[in-house]
Amino acid sequence: MMIGYARVSTINQNLDRQLGALRAAGCAKVYAEKASGRDVKGRPELEKAIDALGTGDVLVLAEWDRATRSMTDGIAIMQRVNARRGHQGSRQTAS
């Protein structure tokens, strides 16, 4: 199953473009939020999206920078996604 994640940083921004892209990609579930990526409370909808992944599922992002704050953060997210999907090692990547 493909699970999507979208985020905008402020309440004045619109999620429509990202949500449309995720639906067009065939995501069965989409998690979305309006929150700053710098928020110390994290990104709860991203956490839910990762937690929803099962073996063989794919996390789909409309834009890479909507999920990550840095390269280190992105690598940590990919490792968590791979663990949820049942993969070991560093050769697999999330979408």
Catalytic (active-site) positions? 9
Buried b (16+ CB within 10 A) or exposed e, 63-94: eeebbbeeeeeeeebbebbbebbebeeeeeeb
Q: Among residues 49, 37, 40, 28, which one has the least CA distance to residue 7? A: 37
Q: Are 32 and 48 in contact (CB under 8 A)?
A: no
